[in-house]
Structure 1
Amino acid sequence: MAQSGVFGDTDAVESVSVLEGDSVTLHSGLTDMMDEDVILWRFGSENTLIAEIDVMADSSMTVYDDVLDERFRDRLKLDHQTGSLIITNTRTEHTGLYQLQSNSVCQRFSLAVYARLPVPNITRDCSSSSSSSSSSSSSYCSLLCSVVNVGHVTLSWYKGNSLLSSISVSDLSISLSLPLEVEYQDKNSYSCVLNNPISNQTTHLNITQLCQPCAEVQCCDTAEAVMRLVVTALMGVAAAAAAVLLLNDVRSSRG
């Protein structure tokens, strides 16, 4: 809960984090509004007024959800007893600095709204295996863990509980990929983890299922392609022979 402070003390900032779609309450720290004349809630660097309570006018409450491109439309509520601000169905654009002003309190909140995380996708990277040395490609399985449209996250590979590698990004709507090489006969447990400060998503690696030697797959693909060419050629020869026989029959009939 927010701590009450002296008006004008704006150094203390309470940090609050939520997932997108959740509701959040910014607590005023007040137990009784009777000593206040007006309670104001402001947002952003320009201190845009988004809600107010006029205690002297029978605690009349007003929310200005049409400001700032209507980002707060139908999302703001005020607690009738404490004057706390409630934001419902939060979105990432609600991230920012909120300020409560009254006769006795000047409280600031830094709200961070994080997007819900997708599940990381682990795929086989045969192109990497084919470009590596023959000894390496025959012993190791090349993998990629990927996510799309993420921001303010870290993507990591773990071997058991030990961190192997990671990559972080602070931008919005970016795609990330992180490579990993494991031996075909490796019996250790591996996992790819995507996380932000308040949540995470994990995908576990199944080496037996995913790591089939690329050389064998390519060999099978090549053999299948050769078989198709042979069959096509034989069908062409058969068609030509049939055409010759038909032509001979026609000539015989005319003779």
Structure 2
Amino acid sequence: MPNQIKLLILLCSTKAVFSITENGPCELGGEVVLTPVSVTNPPSSILWRLGQNKVADFDMDFGTTVSYYGDFNGRTTLDKTTGELIITGLRKTDEGVYSVEFNSKRLEKTYTLSVLKPVPKPAIIVSCNDNKISCTLTCDGDTAGAEPVTYWWKEGERNLEEIGKLLTVSKSDSKLNQNRYKYTCKLKNGVSEKDSDPVGPLFDPNNVPCELGGEVVLTPVSMTNPPSSILWRLGQNMVADFDTDFGPEVTYYGDFNGRTTLDTTTGELTITGLRKTDEGVYSVEFNSKRLEKTYTLSVLKPVPKQAIIVSCNDNNISCTLTCDGDTAGAEPVTYWWKVGEGNWEEIGKLLTVAKSDSKLNQNGYKYTCKLKNGVSEKDSDPVGPLFDPKAVFSIIDNVPCELGGEVVLTPVSMTNPPSSILWRLGQIKVADFDTDFGPEVTYYGDFNGRTTLDTTTGELTITGLRKTDEGVYSVEFNSKRLEKTYTLSVLKQVPKPAIIVSCNDNNISCNLTCDGDTAGAEPVTYWWKEGEGNWEEIGKLLTVIKSDSKLNQNGYKYTCKLKNPFSEEVSYSVKDVFGPGETLLTTKAKD
């Protein structure tokens, strides 16, 4: 019987149309059917597993009942005659590698299942430089659970092109009269695709981002006579409506009611208390005729005050500085760095500094980073010097600590105990002691109850570490601030990743994505292993291309690893990406 079973077939039943496939992703909430090829005789026992965990189990020796395990119970059906397994209400936790045993013998073929949310409807966020001659368009949408996604752009009536999340447009581009162009982006994954509302023209003074909680005034062009009717829309949704045929009152819709004002003489619309849901393309109709001009509104949070997280290699000759801050809702942001008293440079989130760099006397340098978006900017506290022997980074000030763990910040030793000690996180007080006010220590905010200050040595112990504990700590002895600071980062353990396989239409190239929710665990690195080879740090994506030459990699298994400074997790392996009998040429691409 095992010789008659050579292939597992998977059919995803979702809103998107899919043919029978071995590697196509399935839609969250949808259905999947895992079907071994027909067999001459029904098996006497069937066991399905996800990784090492049982999914469904049937054995004639123990009766006719099928056992379903864990949260597969109630949404899974096993056909005892064919071995076909149906899972409904698909969840992200269903992702991974499935295998089946017939008559206690495991079939060689496995199937890798990925479960994706449909992509959201994206919005285009426009951020232009100060002189309005260049704009960056961000195709923005919450893709958590929908990855891997691709980003497509269309200029005017041109064809869509797969470009990436960002599109930069210059006013001086002579190839296109871009001032008149409208831009549309598309989000696409293996189960769905959605288009944004168009934005444009770009180089209009009205197309600037606004601050979350702030105010915007949308002003139509002037007119000789007041209109008899005015209707403002956000996309297809009504915002404010006025018609003299129905009286002098203005109707405000949805959550615009109570924070929006329409001037019935000029058509000017004022929105206060701006929210992220206010983003999009606004249009206005006068006397039931829509005006050509539209207004693209993006709403950004101010950038947070960030901290510089320092991570050095084991021999302390190279350090990576991360400009760290929660930019959710504030994107697009840019990262700027300043070395010593030098000029600001837009570099990126990471800055790598080597002790051997001969161009700079970096031993004495301090480093500062800046976060900037269209409505705000903030500087970090400086860190450094990095390679000063007096400021040797130990676990307390250079290596990230584990969420929920403990850290001890220890000032340099001193001859006499200080009469006063004050610890700060940034500008916020953590712990305060002063002999003039008695022997008690005051602990502030959520440090109270999990922090201890040694009033003799100044040593500070923080337990139950939280993400909010991250940042730069400083200490004052006898009202004088010590030069040494302590940069603390708090990381979650990395999750167990899953490998998501996405192939192009003709199945000659596949992207393998090492997928896992790394929120709170960054910075992470992505490692890949082909077959029994060595681990290589490549990036989140591994691209494999079908080829008739070079390596006979059909027997190869692909495994990925997620790693941060104190934890690592390995995925289940996937293999036979292009099916049996094929060969692969592997290329590697940084994400």
The interval holding the TM-score normalised by the smaller chain is 0.5 to 0.7
Closer, same or farther: CA 62–207 of 1 in aligned 2, 3 Å = same
Name the CA distance, whole Å, in 2 between partners of 1:39 and 1:15: 23
SS in structure 2 of the partner of residue 27 of structure 1:
strand
The match for 2:6 is 5
Matches of 1:216 and 1:62, distance apart in 2: 59
The yes-or-no answer on 1:213 pairing with 2:205 is: yes
Contact residue 184 and residue 199 of structure 2 kept, 8 A? no
The structure having more radius of gyration, on CA atoms, is 1
Matches within 5 A, 1:220-235: none
Describe the SS at the equivalent of 2:93: helix
Kindly state the Cα deviation for residue 94 of structure 1 after the two structures are TM-superposed: 0.8
Shift in CA distance, 207/93, structure 1 to aligned 2, threshold 3 Å: same
Q: Is the 2:134–2:168 contact (alpha carbons within 8 Å) kept by the matching residues of 1? A: no
Distance 1:142 1:5 in 2: 51
Paired residues for 1:1-80 under 5 Å:
4-5=5-6, 14-31=22-39, 33-34=41-42, 36-44=43-51, 47-55=52-60, 59-64=64-69, 66=70, 70=71, 72-80=72-80
Cα 1:201–1:215 change in 2 (3 A) is closer
1:159-209 Cα deviation digits (max 9, x unpaired): 322527314xxxxxxxxxx2432658645553211122332221142425x
Query: 1 CA distance for matches of 2:119 and 2:208?
Result: 36
- 1:131-170 alignment runs, 5 A limit: 131-132=130-131, 137=132, 143-150=137-144, 151-159=147-155, 160-163=158-161, 165-167=163-165
Instruction: Name the CA shift for 1:194/1:96 in 2 (closer, same or farther; >3 Å).
Output: same
Partner of 1:175: none
- The alpha carbon displacement at 1:29 in A equals 1.9
Q: 1:181 aligns with which of 149, 154, 169?
A: 169
Which range moves more in the overlay, 106-115 or 24-33? 24-33
Q: What secondary structure, in the 3-state scheme, does the structure 2 residue paired with 1:110 have?
A: strand
CA contact 1:41–1:98 (8 Å) conserved in 2: yes
Matches within 5 A, 1:97-112: 97-103=97-103, 106=107, 107-112=109-114
In the aligned structure 2, how far is the partner of 1:92 from the partner of 1:54?
A: 29
User: Which residue, out of 182, 200, 203, partners 2:193?
Assistant: 200
For residue 21 of structure 1, report the CA deviation from its aligned partner.
0.6
Q: Distance in 1 between matches of 2:119 and 2:209?
A: 33
CA contact (8 A) 2:153 2:184 kept: yes
Is the 2:100–2:106 Cα contact (8 Å) retained in structure 1?
Answer: yes
Q: Which has the higher contact order (CA 8 A, sep 6+)?
A: 1
Give the TM-score, by structure 2 length: 0.28
In structure 1, how many angstroms separate the alpha carbons of the residues matched to 2:84 and 2:67? Answer: 13
> 2:191 and 2:64 mapped to 1: Cα distance?
36
Q: The residue matched to 2:23 in structure 1 has which SS?
A: strand
Q: Does the Cα contact within 8 Å between 2:135 and 2:170 map onto a contact in 1?
A: yes
User: Which whole-Å CA distance do the structure 2 matches of 1:50 and 1:164 have between them?
Assistant: 39
Is the Cα–Cα contact under 8 Å of residues 123 and 197 in structure 2 kept in the other structure?
no
Q: CA deviation at 1:112?
A: 0.9
Go from structure 1 to structure 2 and tell me whether the alpha carbon gap of 1:162 and 1:16 turns closer, same or farther (over 3 Å shift): closer
Q: Contact between 1:32 and 1:82, CA under 8 Å: does it hold in 2?
A: no
Q: Does 1:89 align with 2:96?
A: no
Code of the residue aligned with 1:153 in structure 2: it is V
For the residue of structure 1 that corresponds to 2:82, the secondary structure is: coil
Name the count of aligned residue pairs: 185
Aligned equivalents of 1:197 and 1:216: distance in 2? 33
Structure number having the greater helix percentage: 1
Alpha-carbon distance, 1:148 to partner: 2.5
Distance 2:203 2:170 in 1: 9
* d(CA) in 2 for partners of 1:215, 1:85: 53
**Partner residue of 2:115 out of 89, 113, 116:** 113
Q: Conserved in 1, the CA contact under 8 Å of 2:99 and 2:106?
A: no
AA paired with 1:117?
V
CA distance in 2, matches of 1:112, 1:217: 37
Question: What is the percentage of aligned positions where both structures have the same residue?
Answer: 26
Gaps of 5+ in 2: 8-20, 172-176, 211-215, 218-591
Deviations 1:105-138 (A, max 9, x none): 714211111122111111332xx23x24xxxx2x
Q: Aligned equivalents of 1:200 and 1:96: distance in 2?
A: 23
**Structure 2 residue aligned with 1:122, among 121, 124, 128?**
124
Runs of 4+ in 1 over 6 A off after TM superposition: 215-218
CA–CA distance in structure 1, aligned partners of residues 195 and 90 of structure 2: 24
* Cα 1:216–1:58 shift into 2, 3 Å: closer
**Any idea what SS the aligned residue of 1:42 has?**
strand
Letter in 1 for 2:148: H
Superimposed CA distance per residue, residues 134-171 of structure 1 (whole angstroms, 9 cap, x where no aligned partner): xxx2x66654331224332223333322527314xxxx
